[in-house]
Amino acid sequence: MPDCIYLHYTVPGDDFTRAGEASADLKLRLKKLGIPPEAVRKVSIALYEGEINLAIHAHGGEIDVQITDDAVCMTLSDQGPGIADIPLAMSEGYSTAPDEVRSLGFGAGMGLPNMKKYSDEFDIQSTVGVGTTIKMAVHVD
Amino acid sequence: MTISRIIEILDAHLLTEHADCSREVHTACGSDMMSDVLAYVKDQAVLLTGLNNPQVVRTADMMDMVCIVFVRGKKPDAMLISLAEARGIAVMTTDKTMFTACGLLYSQGLQGGVN
Ligand SMILES: Nc1ncnc2c1ncn2[C@@H]1O[C@H](COP(=O)(O)OP(=O)(O)O)[C@@H](O)[C@H]1O
Ligand SMILES: [Mg+2]
């Protein structure tokens, strides 16, 4: 495996059915690279929740992935509405998702807590009216 | 129990052609909330749901689940089925309700798994 692999994905903001394509693709690649299944699972769930958030809360966004021998690092950035109260948004069960999102099976307010739970490093920066950037890393080994 | 056995017990109709139905599964969960599946499920192999959209397959795939049962006669569209087919996930539909389908599988030995 080369020293570092870079991947980029764009998550569309207007097509909820496509959210998850990036996580599914990354999952296959990590498996092929021989990354341990437990790490693959953590990356997949964390990134999938992130993708769903980009699609439902931020009108889409960008994902950059960096894979090294030690870790899978993911940066999710968007130019959506931003988050005013990050600790509140991070709490289990807090959600501003509308009913139509809930009828699609999401909006339980578990996305951000899940992303933090499944990643070994987690950082969120957000400015209202500007956008949100989330960095997550899952350690390999 | 095998996936074939699930089809028998639920009097279900298999929608994916190429799935391996001889696969053994031991645990299942039933939910219409994919967020909850992502948050609380661990190593369950079968997902029973009344929700019908592609995110059901995405969620099952992320959780390494191998079988999706649509209850109450829900019929997923061709796009969902081909997505599952590509992921090697068996998809079936049964007329039984969520409660009845879960009860039947549980009484035949399928477990809820750790939690
Ligand atoms: N990328 C984002 N841009 C703007 N707001 C966000 C973003 N991600 C999350 N949020 C806010 O944080 C809340 C909690 O997010 P999350 O835990 O994923 O739950 P859910 O997506 O189910 O609402 C969301 O309801 C939303 O208000
Ligand atoms: Mg979310």
What domains can be seen in chain A, in order of their start residue?
A: 5-139 (3.30.565.10)
Predicted pLDDT of residue B44: 80
In a domain, residue B45? The reply is yes
3-state secondary structure (DSSP) of residue A139? strand
The CATH code of the domain that includes B31 is: 3.40.1390.20
Report CA-CA distances (Å) from A56 to A81, A100, B80: 11, 10, 20
Domain limits at B8? 3-107
Averaged pLDDT score across all residues of chain A:
95
Q: Please compute the mean of the pLDDT values over residues B1-9 and round it to a whole number.
A: 97
Whether the CB of A78 sits within 6 Å of ligand 1: yes
Q: Please compute the mean of the pLDDT values over residues B68-86 and round it to a whole number.
A: 96
Q: Please compute the mean of the pLDDT values over residues A9-38 and round it to a whole number.
A: 94
ipTM of the complex, rounded to two decimals: 0.90
pLDDT band at A126 (very low <50, low <70, confident <90, very high): very high
pLDDT band at A20 (very low <50, low <70, confident <90, very high): very high
pLDDT band at B41 (very low <50, low <70, confident <90, very high): confident
pLDDT tens profile A81-115: 999 999 999 999 999 999 989 999 999 999 999 99
Predicted pLDDT of residue A125: 98
Predicted pLDDT of residue A1: 65
- Rounded distance, CA B86 to CA B78, Å? 12
Identify from B33, B62, B77 which residue to disrupt to test chain A contact, counting A C-beta atoms within 10 A and taking the largest count: B62
In a domain, residue B113? The reply is no
The domain tally of chain B equals 1
Q: Which residue has the tokens 């053994």?
A: B24
CA distance B64 to chain A (A): 8
* DSSP per position, A24-64: HHHHHHHHHTT--HHHHHHHHHHHHHHHHHHHHHSS-EEEE
Could you tell me what percent of chain A has a pLDDT over 90? 91
pLDDT band at B114 (very low <50, low <70, confident <90, very high): low
Tokens (6 digits) for B112:
């809820």
pTM: 0.94
In a domain, residue B115? The reply is no
Alpha carbon of A117 to ligand 1 centroid (Å): 15
- Rounded distance, CA B47 to CA B49, Å? 6
In a domain, residue B27? The reply is yes
Comparison of pLDDT for B41 and A28, the residue scoring more: A28
B38 and A114 within 8 Å at the Cβ level: the answer is: yes
* DSSP per position, B27-87: BEEE-S-HHHHHHH--S--EEEES--SHHHHHHHHHTT--EEEE-TT----HHHHHHHHHT
- Rounded distance, CA B47 to CA A29, Å? 24
